[in-house]
Amino acid sequence: MRMPCTPGSARATSGHCGLRRASARSDEIAALFALEEVGTRCSFTDRQEIYAEHDIADSWYRVVSGAVRTCKLLIDGRRHIAQFRFPGDHFGLPAPDIRGLSAEAIGDVVLTRYPRRQTDRLIVEDPRVAHLLYNRTLLDFADVQSEHCSSGACSPRSGSQAF
């Protein structure tokens, strides 16, 4: 009978669990290389717009260095900050065809821009890319949920007002 892999167990560091982890890591690296082949580096300066609300969502981004804020411009000219993105974070995943938020550089920023059409092709051709992006999307959902709850929107007092 096989024992489950648990962190710190002998099987987790050797044997089939270690090979599975090494294989998964190898798949992730291969997927990252495939994405980098279609990505292009872009640089932005402080407060420069990366994309505007209502733009066509034809690409998504990864922060290489610096920081980005995604926000919604309000009627009175103020910004409602949705998220801050830092090195390694992805943003602007084009689920709808039109952007619901704008993105701006905070200081000097370097990004990798991934065209939607080429990313879609990679997802179909390479299941490792599909798996990587799926996992990243789940992490983004978890981050949003955590941020939402830490803002007090999930407190018992707020009830259904958070929706």
Dist. CA 149–CA 120, nearest whole Å = 32
126 or 148, which is more confident? 126
Domain membership of residue 130 as a residue range: 35-149
Residue of 88, 100, 94, 140 whose CA lies nearest to 117: 94
For residue 58, the model assigns a pLDDT of: 92
Tell me if 10 is assigned to some domain.
Answer: no
In the predicted model, is pLDDT for residue 89 greater than 80?
yes
In the predicted model, is pLDDT for residue 84 greater than 50?
yes
Tell me if 40 is assigned to some domain.
Answer: yes
Dist. CA 51–CA 101, nearest whole Å = 8
Tell me if 22 is assigned to some domain.
Answer: no
In the predicted model, is pLDDT for residue 144 greater than 70?
no
How many domains is the chain partitioned into structurally? 1
141 or 93, which is more confident? 93
57 or 159, which is more confident? 57
In this structure, what CATH number is given to the domain that contains residue 117? 2.60.120.10
For residue 31, the model assigns a pLDDT of: 75
Tell me if 7 is assigned to some domain.
Answer: no
The C-alpha torsion from 103 through 109 and 110 to 112, rounded to 10°, is -10
Question: What mean pLDDT do residues 78-91 have?
Answer: 92
Tell me if 44 is assigned to some domain.
Answer: yes
In the predicted model, is pLDDT for residue 154 greater than 60?
no
Tell me if 156 is assigned to some domain.
Answer: no
Residue of 18, 22, 36 whose CA lies nearest to 126: 36
